[in-house]
Amino acid sequence: MSAPPTLNALMKAEQMKSKSFKVGRSAKTGRFTTVKKATQRKSTHVVETIKKK
């Protein structure tokens, strides 16, 4: 028997279908961060939506 897919696997499968994806970015340095961290630190981070080519 195979185990049910993990949440991470389901998220990756959803991202493969979508035409865009979200990334977090530090507004101070421009470095990429996680979306979770960007939503928690709204004064110093932004969430960007990037279209897939």
Q: What is the 3-state secondary structure (H, E, C) of 22-40?
A: EEEEECCCCCEECHHHHHH
What tokens were used for 30? 């421009």
CA distance 30 to 26: 5
The pTM assigned to this predicted structure is 0.62
Per-residue pLDDT reduced to its tens digit, 16-51: 678 999 999 999 999 999 999 999 999 999 999 999
Non-local (6+) Cβ contacts of 40 within 8 A are none
Question: For the chain, what are the domain ranges?
Answer: 19-51
Model confidence at 1: pLDDT above 90: no
